[in-house]
Amino acid sequence: MQAYYDPKKVTLTMNNDEALVLGEMLQRILENSEADLIKFLESSAEFAVLVRINNNLEKVLPQHFAENYDAQVAHARVAIIKESGRFEGIAES
């Protein structure tokens, strides 16, 4: 993943695995109950940004509509863990 900055915008680029894992995580967060979300969000702006990122990922990731979506997400997670390592305390699913 890379980030690029200019005074008017920040551009993030990520590979397909990163985008797929991020999209899946955002979808779970946004589908969570409102009471749970309120515990973590400090502003409606944060919710708006999460929704915008999620919507943009859905536009560019055709995997969201694939029959083997869960398998693709699992494969992407494994690839990222191989590259970045496991984080202690996170139960892998």
Q: pLDDT at position 17, please?
A: 95
- pLDDT the model gives residue 88: 82
Q: What is the pLDDT of residue 4?
A: 86
Backbone angles phi, psi at 32, to 5 degrees: -65, 165
pLDDT of residue 15: 94
**Parallel/antiparallel/unpaired status of strands 9-13 and 2-6:** antiparallel
Task: Work out the pLDDT band at 67, boundaries 50, 70, 90.
Answer: confident
- Rounded to a whole number of angstroms, the CA Rg of the chain reads 15
Asked if residues 8 and 60 have their Cβ atoms less than 8 Å apart, the reply is no
The domain spans of the chain are 2-84
Q: Rounded to the nearest 10 degrees, how much is the dihedral formed by the CA atoms of 11, 36, 67, 71?
A: 80
- What is the model's pLDDT at position 61? 87
Count of CB atoms situated within 10 Å of the CB of 20: 23
pLDDT at 40: 84
Q: What angle do CA 25, 58, 43 make, to 5 degrees?
A: 55
pLDDT at position 71 over 80:
yes
For the stretch 8-57, pLDDT in tens is 998 989 999 999 999 999 988 888 777 788 888 899 999 899 999 999 99
